[in-house]
Amino acid sequence: MRLSVRLLVLGVTGPLVGLGLFLGLSTASIMDLARVAKVDLGRLFDEVNFNNMRTASEFVTLATDRLAKGLERDVNTLSTELQQSLSVDAKGTLLWKGTALPKAEIAERVTQVLWKPLRSPEESTSVFLKGSDGTWRRLAGITSEGKALPRGWTVPKPAAKNLEGLINEANQTNPGINTMMKWGDAWQMSRVQALSNQGAPPRLALGVSLPSDAGSIILQTSSQLLPYREHRVAFFARSANGGLFCNYATPTPQTCEVLKTVLMQSGGIPKEFKNEVIERKLNSKESRVFVAGFPLWNWLAVVQISNGELENAWAPLRKEATELIAFLLIGTGLLIAGCAIAAWKIGEGIKKELRKLADGANAIAGGDSRLKLAYSGDDALGRLVEAFNQMAEAVGDREDRFKERVQTLEININERELHGQVRSITDDPHFNELSSRAKAMRTRRQARGINSPPAA
């Protein structure tokens, strides 16, 4: 593997491992914080749901309790006066203070009793008589404004069945019962009480009613107490046959059928409408259902809240967590790239210095033993360059000493060669013969010089 590649790997591997550990720990911490935040947000969501459901339930209870008490006072006032005068004998004959009178006259007298200041301007009151054929008809009736209601009006069979059931359910302790009655085409909030009938089954009943609009206003106001936009609310009342009919629904009239289906799928209609708020379990995770009972009017509120509100509340936190993780990933990538570039730069610098070392080594090999490399850094490479320079200087000194030794050896060799040559000459017989001749010539020359006369 090339040195540059090794340096690059070496420069990236360490930071990469460290950054990987940091990124893993940071991501785990962020995910854990996000999980805790979501759990806490869910708990807060549930707490707000229950608190607002309780607030709405308490508001409905207080508001309807006020209406119920008003109706109860009116019923008690009217029933006290009517029971002193109005009765029915065993044969079904109407009696007024014990005297049989024509029905029209008795109806007129009943109307005068009913024409009392009622507590609500929207109230109406009626006295119903059960005929020998079992049909309930209005004997007399009047509104709080003094408008007489049609006499002889036949109560529809469902309402008549409900009316008779309520009268039979009443007792001495609580002779009056609150209920939702459908008088004609409209549902009304009514309080019904049987009038005494000398021990025989009740055949007279007094009813004081409010239009369901009053209840709807209460229900509408209570539904607005819920802080979430994505919710459905429906208020149901129990009918005479034990079924449910819808008093109020929002946001659309179809909400009644939708929530009725949800109610049946999540456990059915409660046997008793208790004054409590409970959550029904659903198979779907997209919404949650809460049920609240109002026993005073035999009402049941069903509220379906979309979990989209929770998801919308969680979305900013999830976005922040995602962005933070993305930031860490991008930062890690940039740091790795920076480390790679730095390692490449460092590798290139080392390669450049190593090339100088290689060129210096080649120069020394070529004979330039006094070459010195320059490097200002005090690091491993600097120490290597310094060692190289010391090596080059040592090589130069050694080369100089070697040259001196070579010269000395050359001189010695020349002297020895010359001595050998002279010895070989002197040892040659011809040289000895020539030497003897030369010596003889010198002797003769000297002798002639001695015997010759001096010049004149």
Q: What percent of the chain has pLDDT over 90?
A: 3
- Which tens digits make up the pLDDT trace of 215-251? 666 666 666 665 555 678 888 877 656 677 787 788 8
pLDDT band at 1; cut points 50, 70, 90:
very low
Would you kindly state where each structural domain of the chain is located, as residue ranges? 45-306, 380-438
User: CB of 300 within 8 A of CB of 266?
Assistant: no
Give yes or no for residue 171 having a pLDDT over 70. no
pLDDT at 126: 92
Give yes or no for residue 65 having a pLDDT over 50. yes
* 45-306, CATH topology level: Beta-Lactamase (3.30.450)
pLDDT band at 90; cut points 50, 70, 90:
confident
pLDDT band at 108; cut points 50, 70, 90:
very high
- Which tens digits make up the pLDDT trace of 9-50? 655 566 666 666 766 777 777 777 777 776 776 677 667 767
Give yes or no for residue 80 having a pLDDT over 80. yes
HEC string for the chain: CCHHHHHHHHHHHHHHHHHHHHHHHHHHHHHHHHHHHHHHHHHHHHHHHHHHHHHHHHHHHHHHHHHHHHHHHHHHHHHHHHHHHEEECCCCCEEECCEECCHHHHHHHHHHHHCCCCCCCCCEEEEEEECCCCCEEEEEEEECCCCECCCCCECCHHHHHHHHHHHHHCCCCCCEEEEEEEECCEEEEEEEEEECCCCCCCCEEEEEEEEHHHHHHHHHHHHCCCCCCCEEEEEEEECCCCCEEEEEEECCCCHHHHHHHHHHHCCCCCCCCCCCEEEECCCCCCEEEEEEEECCCCEEEEEEEECHHHHHHHHHHHHHHHHHHHHHHHHHHHHHHHHHHHHHHHHHHHHHHHHHHHHHHHHHHCCCCCCCCCCCCCCHHHHHHHHHHHHHHHHHHHHHHHHHHHHHHHHHHHHHHHHHHHHHHHCCHHHHHHHHHHHHHHHHHHHHHHHCCCCC
pLDDT at 168: 73
User: CB of 282 within 8 A of CB of 266?
Assistant: yes
Give yes or no for residue 454 having a pLDDT over 80. no
- Tell me what the pLDDT averaged over the chain comes to: 76
When pLDDT is averaged across residues 353-378 and rounded to a whole number, the result is 72
Who has greater pLDDT, 368 or 113? Answer: 113
- Which tens digits make up the pLDDT trace of 312-359? 665 676 677 677 777 777 877 777 777 778 777 777 777 777 777 777
> Could you tell me the end-to-end alpha-carbon distance of the chain, in angstroms, rounded to an integer?
108
When pLDDT is averaged across residues 78-97 and rounded to a whole number, the result is 86
Cβ within 8 Å of residue 149, ≥6 positions away: 124, 126, 138, 140, 141, 142, 143
